[in-house]
């Protein structure tokens, strides 16, 4: 009998791409999300784990700016609830795949971040996600943590969708050029997660599409691919004051996960070109 996998936050950007990939791989998949599932409720967690061999936690408080105002909520969802998930999973023998973020780093490093680099989050969102990682480790359940960055897909708002929408208006765009990373398609993340589940890999991994670019360079790539004659002007992060500091370097070293994957990680350009060529 195929393993039953529960995806928490399964109707979000990553969960929506992950579910069909897991089904295609032969797993039985159950999707849970708000409002019927609340990660912070013990009874909801118990029901989510009932009958499951694997749980993938895509559920999170992801509004980075709102996290500064709603500190307790961010910490409850991204931190303490992940520890409770780990404790419940250990009790039931369930394998946990937990999704984390580049925001656990301060972005001040000039080389790609490896898994052994010490985290130093700049903001509440990053601190809450780091607390979740630590709480999951402390639970001593069988688990793997996958840090991802600059996610995009067909479900939910993201940098790619925002640039595409704004470029279609034909108005000049200003895009920051001092934040670098790799836009990473959730479809590619899903294939990597499937390998982690299949092989029951444990520990910590970084995943992103290969290469890196500034957000300005990514915006230019999008408009070129879509043949949109819009002017894009580079600027610095300070031109867009926000309540939250963001890491300026989100570049991941993905050598550790590449060793275990079935195929080379695609470049961000190839992945994004395929995504843009696919109807939503």
241 is a domain residue: no
Structure letter (DSSP) for residue 239: G
Q: Residue 1: what pLDDT?
A: 62
Domain containing 54: what range? 4-157+184-212+250-268
Place of tokens 């069909």: 20
Active-site positions? 125
pLDDT digits (tens, 9 = 90+) for 65-85: 899 999 999 999 999 999 999
Report the percent of the chain where pLDDT is more than 70.
Answer: 99
The packing angle between helices 42-49 and 81-92, to 10°, is: 40
Q: How many domains does the chain have?
A: 1
Q: Is the Cα dihedral 8, 10, 12, 15 positive or negative?
A: positive
Task: Report if residue 280 sits inside a domain.
Answer: no
Copy the structure tokens of residue 26.
């032969």
The confidence score (pLDDT) of residue 110 equals 93
Q: Does the structure show a pLDDT above 70 at 231?
A: yes
Domain-located, residue 225: no
| CA 215, 120, 192, 36 torsion-angle sign | negative
CA 275 to chain centroid: 17
Q: Which two tokens stand for residue 136?
A: 């999951």
Q: Please check whether residue 273 lies inside any domain of the structure.
A: no
What does the DSSP assignment read for 76-131? IIIIIHHHHHHHHHHHHT-EEEEEEEGGGS-S--SSPBPTTSPP--SSHHHHHHHH
pLDDT at res. 2: 79
- Separation CA 24–CA 150 (nearest Å): 25
Considering the domain boundaries, does residue 67 fall inside one? yes
Residue 220 placed within a domain: no
Closest Cα partner for 211 from 63, 88, 112? 112
Share of the chain above pLDDT 90, in %: 88
pLDDT at 279: 73
Tell me if 167 is assigned to some domain.
no
Two tokens, residue 29? 């998949």
pLDDT digits (tens, 9 = 90+) for 29-41: 999 999 999 999 9
Q: What DSSP state is assigned to residue 189?
A: H
For residue range 120-168, what is the model confidence (pLDDT) as tens digits? 999 999 999 999 999 999 999 999 999 999 999 998 889 999 999 998 8
Question: 3-state DSSP: the chain helix, strand, coil percent, rounded to 5?
Answer: 40, 20, 40
Q: Give the model's pLDDT for residue 229.
A: 87
CATH (domain of 255): 3.40.50.720
- Confidence at residue 249, expressed as pLDDT on a 0 to 100 scale: 96
Identify each DSSP E strand in the chain by its residue range.
4-8, 28-32, 54-57, 95-101, 143-148, 151-152, 173-176, 180-181, 184-185, 203-206, 213-214, 232-235
> What Å distances lie between residue 222 and 61, 111, 236, 276, CA to CA?
28, 25, 20, 8
Answer whether residue 214 shows pLDDT above 70. Answer: yes
Say if 240 falls within a structural domain. Answer: no
127-130 long-range contacts, CB within 8 A, separation 24+: 127/75, 128/61, 128/67, 128/74, 128/75, 128/77, 128/78, 128/79, 129/60, 129/78, 129/79, 129/100, 129/101, 129/103, 129/104, 130/100, 130/104
Q: Is the peptide bond before 176 cis (omega within 30 degrees of 0)?
A: no
Q: Who has greater pLDDT, 170 or 264?
A: 264
């Amino acid at each position: 009998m195929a393993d039953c996998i529960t995806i928490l936050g399964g109707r979000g950007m990553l969960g929506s791409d992950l579910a069909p990939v897991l089904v295609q791989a032969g797993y039985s998949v159950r999707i849970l999300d708000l409002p019927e599932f609340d990660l912070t409720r013990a009874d909801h967690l118990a029901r989510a784990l009932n009958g499951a061999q694997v749980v993938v936690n895509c559920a999170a408080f992801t509004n980075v700016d709102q996290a500064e105002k709603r500190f307790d909520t961010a910490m409850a969802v991204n931190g303490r609830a992940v520890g409770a998930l780990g404790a419940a999973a250990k009790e039931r023998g369930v394998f946990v795949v937990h999704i984390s973020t580049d925001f656990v780093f301060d972005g001040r490093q000039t080389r790609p971040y490896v898994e052994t680099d010490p985290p130093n989050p700049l903001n509440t969102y990053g601190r809450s996600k780091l607390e979740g990682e630590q709480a999951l480790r402390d639970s001593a359940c069988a688990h793997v943590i996958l840090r991802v960055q600059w996610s995009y897909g067909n479900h939910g708002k993201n940098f790619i969708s925002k640039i595409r929408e704004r470029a279609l208006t034909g108005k000049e765009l200003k895009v920051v050029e001092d934040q670098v990373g790799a836009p990473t398609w959730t479809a590619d993340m899903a294939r990597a997660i499937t390998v982690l589940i299949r092989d029951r890999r444990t520990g910590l991994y970084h995943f992103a599409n290969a290469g890196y670019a500034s957000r300005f360079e990514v915006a230019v790539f999008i408009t070129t691919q879509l043949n949109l004659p819009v002017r894009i002007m580079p600027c610095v992060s300070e031109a867009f004051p926000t309540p939250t500091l963001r890491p300026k370097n989100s570049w991941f070293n993905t050598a550790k996960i590449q060793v275990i994957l079935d195929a080379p990680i695609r470049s961000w350009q190839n992945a994004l070109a395929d995504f843009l060529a696919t109807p939503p």
